[in-house]
Amino acid sequence: MRTLREVKVGETVTVTKLRGEGAVKRRIMDMGITKGTPVYLRKIAPLGDPVEITVRGYELSLRKADADLIDVE
């Protein structure tokens, strides 16, 4: 199992599980990242944080700490 943080630029993956609890998990789900959702990694910032993804037709920036809570395949 790998996380969204480990995905390479240009790769499309599918969300398999959201880790974390409470407000953090709810915030990630409110952004449209739910189980079964395809996610495309567009780019990574020069210093590695944040990462920019495309999910449900819009661009979204995530911190590495949040990307580490999203399991993908």
Q: Which of 2-6, 11-15, 45-49 is predicted most confidently? A: 11-15
Predicted pLDDT at 35: 92
Residue 73: the pLDDT is: 93
Q: Is the pLDDT of residue 15 over 90?
A: yes
The domain that holds 63 is classified in CATH as: 2.30.30.90
How many residues comprise the chain?
73
Domain boundaries, position 46: 2-72
Q: The sheet that has 51-55: what strands, in order across it?
A: 2-3, 70-72, 12-18, 38-44, 51-55, 58-62
pLDDT for residue 52 is more than 90? yes
pTM: 0.86
Closest by CA to 68, choosing from 31, 38, 32, 25, is: 25
Taking the C-alpha atoms of residue 15 and residue 47, their distance in angstroms, rounded to an integer, is 25
Reported as a single tens digit per residue, the pLDDT across 35-48 is 999 999 999 998 87
Using CA atoms, how far apart are residues 5 and 64, in angstroms rounded to an integer? Answer: 6
